[in-house]
């Protein structure tokens, strides 16, 4: 990737990766969205197995929480 491509990835726009450096990532869905966008630009992204496992684990529990919340709302409205 040339310097212009790196600038796009780090410029603070929708592909902003710099804001994720050196701090915990709380929004896993946003992380996955950014990874997909970068890959769509043709940039290879390496996700190590332990990180992939963590991402999948967090996404699983977020889906469970959304489902449970949906059930609770349906029960109240039911």
Q: Looking at the structure, tell me whether residues 40 and 6 fall in a common domain.
A: yes
Is residue 73's pLDDT more than 70? no
pTM: 0.67
Q: Looking at the structure, tell me whether residues 2 and 30 fall in a common domain.
A: yes
Which has more pLDDT, 59 or 78? 59
What domain range is 70 assigned to? 46-78
Is residue 3's pLDDT more than 60? no
Q: Looking at the structure, tell me whether residues 37 and 7 fall in a common domain.
A: yes
Q: Looking at the structure, tell me whether residues 64 and 75 fall in a common domain.
A: yes
pLDDT, position 21: 78
Number of independent structural domains in the chain: 2
**pLDDT of 8-51, one tens digit each?**
555 455 666 777 778 888 899 988 988 888 888 887 888 999 99
HEC sequence for the chain:
CCHHHHHHHHCCCCCCCHHHCCCCCCCHHHHHHHHHHHHHCCCCCCCCHHHHHHHHHHHHHHHHHHHHHHHHHHHHHC
């Amino acid at each position: 990737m040339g310097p212009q491509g790196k600038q796009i990835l780090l410029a603070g726009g929708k592909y902003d990766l710099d804001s994720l450096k050196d701090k915990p990532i709380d929004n896993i869905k946003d992380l996955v969205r950014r990874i997909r966008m970068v890959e769509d630009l043709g940039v290879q992204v390496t996700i190590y197995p332990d990180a992939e496992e963590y991402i999948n684990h967090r996404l699983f529990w977020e889906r469970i929480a959304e489902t449970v919340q949906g059930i609770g709302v349906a029960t109240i409205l039911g």
